[in-house]
């Protein structure tokens, strides 16, 4: 197995230049820690931007920088100030970030940003290609690099690529507004595995893939050409032990060892022992709902004035993306809000809000977590929110109350917290009151559950789980019963073919010999196909059958003049050597009059669907409907039909975007085995793409060569990727 390559916008080290020398200091963030199990030793490399633009990098230090990074298992992508502006501050943080957090009105659709984003993603992809081998495993992180998977895939078709999105994936209704939505989806689909924090983000993504790209999605798998892409949720954890140990150490510190901040917190507690501390920590970002939280706090103090002088809100807002205008406006808004509320409500002994606009050292973070009675986190949208988890991890005596927004990904795993809607001030005020009065036993019992879960599913487990799922995907064909038609297999089949004395070929039509068309009547055979079939038909000792669910009129028009053998309507009719169609099976059709009105009502209620009427079957096609809606209706129709039919004479076949109702004693498998028994064939071959072909694959003897088109579960022995491959395969038979 090869190396593991991790790619993120920023490297997990900080470069410091002092007196002409370079130092690379490892970061202590959650991601860097979590990846330790994945990023260690010589078997891994982390690629990203160093944090210094080309303009900030003294040319004479380039080599030293590379060496310092290499010592930490890192390699840099060089970016200039213009690229950082367009790619990072522009498209990433002024287009994608607001859109994916449902701030549609903040999202700027600028062509220049998009072009720079593409160019920079290409730079990352090029760096990966330069520094990796085919058998390496690549893990791409986050919204800044969504085009990278496909860019790498183009050059490295067989490499294993995973992608994890750290922010929400919005609902289709939001995502569809992005002018470059298809390109973004296609970029992500270069991956083998795409991970999200929650099932909701996963479901939103799948819905966009189906609706915007029209791809087949089955459960959490996407079928694209010759690949299956798996989508799953992996809720990110924290380095639980680090926070817990830090809190234990913190509580054992003597007075002299305590930080200035801790001494201030202690003296506050001593002077007002019945005053409670409420804490919030976030990057200063509009998605975190800081301004609303301050407003809600004012609302709480007005609704329950008895808590004035009894509570204090500590806000730690960490400076972030201050080059982006929205963030500058937000900073101003928060400064003014805090100023106004403190001005209006403060007393000689009490300031309602302590506001820190800065980044604090880790130890101070622990001071805050361990000293606060309540953590109050109210993001309007948040991919996960790790602060919520960190607060719980530091509560070594298990006391403390977490109030958490339902809009944070972490809310899905933290049911024992008090979950609130950040837009509902009434609920927030009442929940604050409830938290302030929560009995210690209740606090302990809630936190016990939370702590156990967080300790188990920590960030290391998260990273390992993702890598495990990615490595499982490495061998795609394992997921299928059939084997990919490799060059060697194809050579062997061709040899068998040419050695055999009597051959029988069953070729399905739609989805096998030709691709699908919105209007089935338009999927007529092309010249190349006629030539290919002519050559097979004219070969000595070869009996060719086109075998299809199509009606006999259409096939008669297309193929009767060519004298190809045909079995149509799944086995009801047969035509040999240009003779008129004869019935192969005796079937009854009285049931059709009863079922037709049911299908008609489904057509009326499902725009884009239509009925195809054959002599002895009815088919309801839903290829042109909204994919989600079409699937729902198909499930509904299935239930209705099953309750109506109730006997074994009629069966319902679920094909590729079509449901067909027909007599049970007719299917392609039965027809094919009947044809087989008519002579002594020593080479039997069947190929098809959909469910109705499975009857052939199942009923033909094991010696038959059965081939599925596409990557779906099947009883066939082999699979090929698409109709182009089918034609290549048949050409090998036609021109040995």
The residues binding ligand GDG (CB under 6 A) are 30, 166-167, 236, 281, 283, 316, 318, 359-360, 362, 365, 382-387, 390
In the complex, least distance from residue 326 CB atom to ligand GDG, rounded to whole angstroms = 15
Answer for the pair 120, 143: CB distance below 8 angstroms, yes or no. Answer: no
Nearer to ligand GDG, 387 or 546 (CB): 387
Q: Name 25's bridge partners.
A: 14
Nearer to ligand GDG, 407 or 705 (CB): 407
Give the DSSP letter string of 407-437: TBGGGGT-TTSEEE-TT-HHHHHHHHHHHHT
In the complex, least distance from residue 131 CB atom to ligand GDG, rounded to whole angstroms = 25
Nearer to ligand GDG, 385 or 606 (CB): 385
Nearer to ligand GDG, 365 or 467 (CB): 365
Q: Which of 186, 184, 183 is nearest to 169 (CA)?
A: 184
Supply 374's token pair. 């309540």
Q: How far is CA 631 from the centre of its chain?
A: 20
Nearer to ligand GDG, 369 or 683 (CB): 369
Exposure string (b/e) for 539-548, b if CB count within 10 Å is 16 or more?
beebbbbbbb
Give the DSSP letter string of 169-189: PPPHHHHTT-TTHHHHHHHHT
- Report the 3 state secondary structure along 495-520: HHHHHCCCEEEEECCECCCECCCCCH
Nearer to ligand GDG, 283 or 596 (CB): 283
439 CB contacts (<8 Å, ≥6 apart)?
Answer: none
In the complex, least distance from residue 283 CB atom to ligand GDG, rounded to whole angstroms = 5
Which sign, positive or negative, has the C-alpha torsion 407, 413, 414, 416?
positive
| Of 367, 508, 690, 693, catalytic | 508
CA atoms within 13 A on the CB side of 493: 24
The question of whether 126 is a catalytic residue gets the answer: no
Q: In what order do the strands lie in the sheet with 401-405?
A: 353-357, 311-318, 276-283, 374-377, 401-405, 418-420
Nearer to ligand GDG, 167 or 277 (CB): 167
- φ and ψ of 706, to 5 deg: -115, 135
- CA angle in degrees (0–180, nearest 5) for 319-28-355: 30
Nearer to ligand GDG, 291 or 318 (CB): 318
Q: Which of 168, 179, 106, 178 is nearest to 143 (CA)?
A: 168
- Please give the Cα distance from 474 to 438 (Å, whole number): 50
Answer for the pair 13, 72: CB distance below 8 angstroms, yes or no. Answer: yes
In the complex, least distance from residue 178 CB atom to ligand GDG, rounded to whole angstroms = 19
In the complex, least distance from residue 620 CB atom to ligand GDG, rounded to whole angstroms = 44
Q: Which residue is nearest to ligand GDG (CB)?
A: 384
Answer for the pair 197, 459: CB distance below 8 angstroms, yes or no. Answer: no
582 CB contacts (<8 Å, ≥6 apart)?
Answer: 573, 574, 575
- R_g of the chain, CA atoms, integer Å: 32
- Please give the Cα distance from 312 to 500 (Å, whole number): 88
In the complex, least distance from residue 275 CB atom to ligand GDG, rounded to whole angstroms = 23
Q: Which of 88, 19, 97 is nearest to 58 (CA)?
A: 19
Q: How far is CA 211 from the centre of its chain?
A: 14
Supply 255's token pair. 């007075």
Nearer to ligand GDG, 13 or 700 (CB): 13
In the complex, least distance from residue 383 CB atom to ligand GDG, rounded to whole angstroms = 3
Q: In what order do the strands lie in the sheet with 658-663?
A: 610-613, 617-621, 658-663, 650-654
In the complex, least distance from residue 220 CB atom to ligand GDG, rounded to whole angstroms = 20
In the complex, least distance from residue 103 CB atom to ligand GDG, rounded to whole angstroms = 13
- Please give the Cα distance from 647 to 644 (Å, whole number): 9
In the complex, least distance from residue 200 CB atom to ligand GDG, rounded to whole angstroms = 13
Nearer to ligand GDG, 279 or 572 (CB): 279
In the complex, least distance from residue 363 CB atom to ligand GDG, rounded to whole angstroms = 9
Specify the residue for token string 């054959």: 614
Nearer to ligand GDG, 236 or 450 (CB): 236
Nearer to ligand GDG, 409 or 511 (CB): 409
Q: Which of 201, 197, 196, 117 is nearest to 151 (CA)?
A: 117
Q: Residue 538, exposed/middle/buried by CB under 10 A (0-12, 13-18, 19+)?
A: exposed
Q: Which of 171, 163, 95, 165 is nearest to 407 (CA)?
A: 171
In the complex, least distance from residue 233 CB atom to ligand GDG, rounded to whole angstroms = 12
- Please give the Cα distance from 146 to 190 (Å, whole number): 10
Which residues are the active-site residues? 508
């Amino acid at each position: 197995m090869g190396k593991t390559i991790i790619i993120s916008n920023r490297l997990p080290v900080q470069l410091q230049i002092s007196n002409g020398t370079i130092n690379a200091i490892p970061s202590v963030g959650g991601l860097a820690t979590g990846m330790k199990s994945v990023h260690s030793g010589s078997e891994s490399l982390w690629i990203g931007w160093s944090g210094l633009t080309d303009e900030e990098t003294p040319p004479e230090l380039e080599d030293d920088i590379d060496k310092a990074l290499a010592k930490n298992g890192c390699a840099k992508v060089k970016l200039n100030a213009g690229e950082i502006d367009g790619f990072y501050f522009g498209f990433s943080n002024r287009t994608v970030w607001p859109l994916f957090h449902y701030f549609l009105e903040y999202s700027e659709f600028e062509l220049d940003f998009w072009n720079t984003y593409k160019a920079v993603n290409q730079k990352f992809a090029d760096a990966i290609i330069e520094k990796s081998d085919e058998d390496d495993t690549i893990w791409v992180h986050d919204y800044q690099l969504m085009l990278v998977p496909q860019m790498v895939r183009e050059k490295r078709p067989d490499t294993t690529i995973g992608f994890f999105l750290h922010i929400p994936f919005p609902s289709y209704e939001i995502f569809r507004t992005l002018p470059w939505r298809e390109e973004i989806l296609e970029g992500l689909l270069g991956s083998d595995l795409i991970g999200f924090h929650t099932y909701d983000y996963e479901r939103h993504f799948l819905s966009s893939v189906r609706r915007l790209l029209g791809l087949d999605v089955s459960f959490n798998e996407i079928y694209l050409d010759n690949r299956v892409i798996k989508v799953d949720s992996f809720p990110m954890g924290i380095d639980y032990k680090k926070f817990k140990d830090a809190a234990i150490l913190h509580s054992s510190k003597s007075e002299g060892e305590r930080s200035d901040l801790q001494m201030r917190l202690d003296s506050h507690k001593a002077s007002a022992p019945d005053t409670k501390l409420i804490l919030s920590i976030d990057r200063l970002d509009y998605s975190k709902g800081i301004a609303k939280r301050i407003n809600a706090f004012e609302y709480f103090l007005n609704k329950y004035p008895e808590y004035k002088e009894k509570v204090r809100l500590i806000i730690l807002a960490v400076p972030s993306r201050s080059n982006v205008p929205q963030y500058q406006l937000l900073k101003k808004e928060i400064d003014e809000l805090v100023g106004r509320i403190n001005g209006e409500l403060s007393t000689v002994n009490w300031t309602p809000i302590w506001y820190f606009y800065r980044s604090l050292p880790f130890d101070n973070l622990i001071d805050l977590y361990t000293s606060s009675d309540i953590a109050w986190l109210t993001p309007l949208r948040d991919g996960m929110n790790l602060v919520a988890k960190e607060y719980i991890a530091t509560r070594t005596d298990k006391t403390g109350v977490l109030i958490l927004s339902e809009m944070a990904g972490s809310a899905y795993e933290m049911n024992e917290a008090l979950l609130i809607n950040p837009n509902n001030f009434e609920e927030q005020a009442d929940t604050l009151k409830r938290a302030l009065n929560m009995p210690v036993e209740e606090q302990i019992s809630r936190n016990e559950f939370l702590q156990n879960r967080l300790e188990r599913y920590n960030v290391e487990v998260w990273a390992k789980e993702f890598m495990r799922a990615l490595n499982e995907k490495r061998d795609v064909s394992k997921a299928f019963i059939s084997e990919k038609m490799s060059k060697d297999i194809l050579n062997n089949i061709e040899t068998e073919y040419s050695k055999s004395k009597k051959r029988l070929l069953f070729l399905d039509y739609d989805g096998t010999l030709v691709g699908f068309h919105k209007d089935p009547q338009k999927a007529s055979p092309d010249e190349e196909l006629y030539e290919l079939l002519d050559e097979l038909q004219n070969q000595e000792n070869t009996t060719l059958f086109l075998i299809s669910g199509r009606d006999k009129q259409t096939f008669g028009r297309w193929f009767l003049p060519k004298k190809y053998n045909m079995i149509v309507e799944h086995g009801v009719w047969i035509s040999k050597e240009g003779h008129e169609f004869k019935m192969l099976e005796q079937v009854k059709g009285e049931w059709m009059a009863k079922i037709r009105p049911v299908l008609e009502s489904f057509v009326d209620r499902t725009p884009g669907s239509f009925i195809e009427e054959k002599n002895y079957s009815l088919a309801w096609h839903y290829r042109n409907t909204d994919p989600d809606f079409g699937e729902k209706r198909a499930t509904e129709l299935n239930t209705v039909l099953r309750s109506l039919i109730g006997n074994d004479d009629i069966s319902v076949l679920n094909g590729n975007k079509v449901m067909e109702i027909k007599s049970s004693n007719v299917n392609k498998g039965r027809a094919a085995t009947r044809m087989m028994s008519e002579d002594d064939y020593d080479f039997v071959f069947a190929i098809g793409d959909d469910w109705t072909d499975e009857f052939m694959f199942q009923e033909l003897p094991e010696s038959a060569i059965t081939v599925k088109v596409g990557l779906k579960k099947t009883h066939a022995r082999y699979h090929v990727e698409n109709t182009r491959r089918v034609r290549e395969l048949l050409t090998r038979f036609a021109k040995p």
